[in-house]
Amino acid sequence: MVKCAAVMQISPLFSEKRFTTSFEFFPPRNAEGEESLWKALSTLKSLEPDFVSITRTGGGTGATVDLTARMQSDIGLRAMSHLTCVHHGQDEMTAHLDDLWNRGIRNVLALRGDLEPGNRPERSDFRYATDLVRFARDRHPFCIGVAGYPEGHPQCLNITRDLEHLRQKLDLGGSFVITQLFFDNDDFLRWRDQAHRMGIRAPVVAGIMPITNVAQIKRFVTLCGAKIPHALLMRLEAVEDDPVAVARVGHEHALAQCRQLIDEGISGLHFYTLNRSKATLNIVRALRNEAS
């Protein structure tokens, strides 16, 4: 049986707590990945996160739904399923939304999904995340999260236009915003201030990725359009052959980020765990020890 706390929607938490803490996982691709995921989850569950999210990366739609349902029904965590639309038709999306709802999942993160350069989707029922937000809202009363991009979406021409798209997603039914990962709080705060000036008042949850591997984070920022501040990059490259030192630099930077964001009144911190626990565990414990 699904626990009552797990089926509750996410949005009420933002008025109940000073800030939320949440973790993101992805469906594993193989047995080794499965072991890593459940080991990380077992460790991070002790932190009593406000919610967890499950991406489409790894095993596709079915794996995402199954994992989200397991985290709710078996483990008792409030869970959110990532939902991408660009390669799906309306009939397929209707069935998918019904499956989520019937399995007790009440929270979704509505995303367009990735397109390969020069490749158009075979189906065109959903071109943008705005189309998905409207469709999901009309199908069931989900709590819908939407994505925000403090440094601008990689395919958007400028920040103002990107924020206009964000405002539209919220107007159509989005309840809160989770941002892409970022490493420069000044960029985030400028973006948040501009959003406020444009009338965007939804809770904003900051995406935090503790750096543990220099080559890995360089690949990520290339793909998602984020950037690494020069001073941080110099610190990382100076120790990139020393995993312990890299983890220490990443921990210090992420912890400083979180401290400032909390002081600035952020609605929540969303940790991209990469299905590992140590970095996130250490940062969240440090924040809670400082608050106690």
Task: Please state, in angstroms and rounded to a whole number, the distance separating the CA atoms of residues 116 and 119.
Answer: 5
Catalytic residue (one of 16, 24, 48, 252)? 24
**At 226, is the secondary structure helix, strand, or coil?**
coil
Task: Please state, in angstroms and rounded to a whole number, the distance separating the CA atoms of residues 56 and 10.
Answer: 19
**Backbone phi, then psi, for 84, in 5-degree steps?**
-110, 155
Identify residue 46 by its one-letter amino acid code.
S
Q: List C-alpha distances in Å: 282 to 1, 51, 181, 254.
A: 32, 18, 18, 11
Please answer whether residues 147 and 179 qualify as being in contact, where contact means their C-beta atoms are separated by less than 8 angstroms.
yes
Residue 41 CB neighbour total at 10 angstroms = 20
Please answer whether residues 212 and 279 qualify as being in contact, where contact means their C-beta atoms are separated by less than 8 angstroms.
yes
Active site annotation includes 24: yes
**Backbone phi, then psi, for 284, in 5-degree steps?**
-65, -40
Nearest-5° Cα angle at 78, 256 to 81: 90
Please answer whether residues 116 and 81 qualify as being in contact, where contact means their C-beta atoms are separated by less than 8 angstroms.
no
Question: Which residues form the catalytic set?
Answer: 24
